Amino acid sequence: MEDYLVKSTAYNGKIRAYAVQTTNMVNEAARRHQAWPTASAALGRAMSAGSMMGAMLKGGDKLTVKLEGNGPMGPIIVDSDSSGDTRGYAHNMQVHFDLNDKGKLDVAQAVGTEGVLSVVKDLGMKEHFTGSVPIVSGEVGEDFTYYFATSEQVPSSVGLGVLVNPDNSIMAAGGFIIQVMPDAEEELAARIEQQIGAMPPVSKLIEKGKTPEEILHVILGDEVKVLETTPVSFSCHCSSERVANALMSLGTDELQDMIEKDGGAETQCHFCNEVYQFSAGDLEELKEEAWNMENNMQ
């Protein structure tokens, strides 16, 4: 099944709900980063949350999620936008632990139980919106739940899950975000919370073939009104041209230094692990372009 996201409402707009399947997206990230299982689960949860938060934005807007815990993975960084494109990485993807006492991958130990979760939204204005909260558990879903309640003042329930195969590929990944609007009755919110507590883990539902729509029906019954479905995928916007522009921005002296000392340049994208190589001849051309730019600005 292809990855996609569902945006919906329920109970006459008193509930806003999102659900997403990200199995292929997370598998691509895990493959590119040669991730070990616990690291895949942590990054996959963050990417699933990021893709749903991206769906909350308007066209052209984008956001960056940073989960900076005190665990061995180091910072986890996810970029997402309103069109369903998401990418992510962690500083150390070769992290794995024994299962925790609930029989699940020990994401909290990989992420860390202390630190900061921050979200930076680029809404096309001069200033970016930034919200940050302390990490409350390192399980990722609970941390995003706390973020929404504290930073955005929207009572929410965030469920995220990733199942990893013995060969380290991704068996199932996805999640949901249920948000309670101000006009919702306390009894309704309590009933939904009880239903979420009684349901199987979201990754198990995806493994059994449940679609994002069906996951929302498990939580909200027949009240779900689907507003929009959007394909989601791992997508990195790095390119040889972008890297070349970054090299030119270093200036002619720095480029000459690379030519003389290294005979070229090699750089790797953190998000997708793509490697870009530039020969001494390539750098000579970039140096000439940089020189022309510098002189045209004078």
Query: Are 224 and 250 within one domain?
Result: no
Distance of CA 36 to the CA centre of its chain: 17
* Predicted local distance difference test score (pLDDT) of residue 127: 79
Of the candidates 177, 196, 231, which is a domain's last residue?
231
Residue 279's domain is classified under what CATH number? 3.90.1280.10
pLDDT beneath 50, residues of the chain: none
Say which CATH number the domain at 158 has: 3.55.30.10
Which of 204, 163, 199, 216 lies closest to 9, judged by CA?
Answer: 216
Same domain for 149 and 38: yes
Residues 60 and 198 in one domain: yes
The domain of 199 spans: 4-231
* 98 and 147 inside one domain: yes
pLDDT digits (tens, 9 = 90+) for 78-114: 999 999 999 999 999 999 999 999 889 999 999 999 9
Residue 239 neighbours by CB distance under 10 Å: 12
Q: Are residues 204 and 80 in the same domain?
A: yes
Long-range CB contact pairs, 294-297, < 8 A, 24+ = 294/251, 294/252
Q: Where among 212, 231, 250 does a domain terminate?
A: 231
* Residue 288: per-residue pLDDT: 86
Q: How many domains, the chain?
A: 2
- Indicate the pTM of the whole model: 0.90
Q: At which of 231, 257, 288 does a domain end? A: 231
Nearest to 266 by CA among 238, 290, 243, 236: 243
* 127 plus 13 within the same structural domain: yes
Same domain, 254 and 208: no
- C-alpha angle 212-214-217 in degrees, rounded to nearest 5: 115
- Based on the fold, state whether residues 136 and 203 are members of the same structural domain: yes
> Do 287 and 161 share a structural domain?
no
Burial of 208 per CB tally in 10 Å (0-12, 13-18, 19+)? exposed
Q: How many residues does the chain have?
A: 298
How many CA atoms lie within 13 Å of 174's alpha carbon, on the beta-carbon side?
34
- Using a 10 angstrom Cβ sphere, with 0-12 exposed, 13-18 middle and 19 or more buried, the burial of residue 65 is buried
Are 157 and 257 members of one domain? Answer: no
Domain co-membership, 147 together with 272: no
What pLDDT, on a 0 to 100 scale, did the predictor assign at position 250? 87
Across the chain, mean pLDDT equals: 93
Shared-domain flag, residues 258 and 198: no
Tell me what pLDDT residue 297 has.
60
* Helix, strand, coil percentages for the chain (3-state, nearest 5): 40, 30, 35
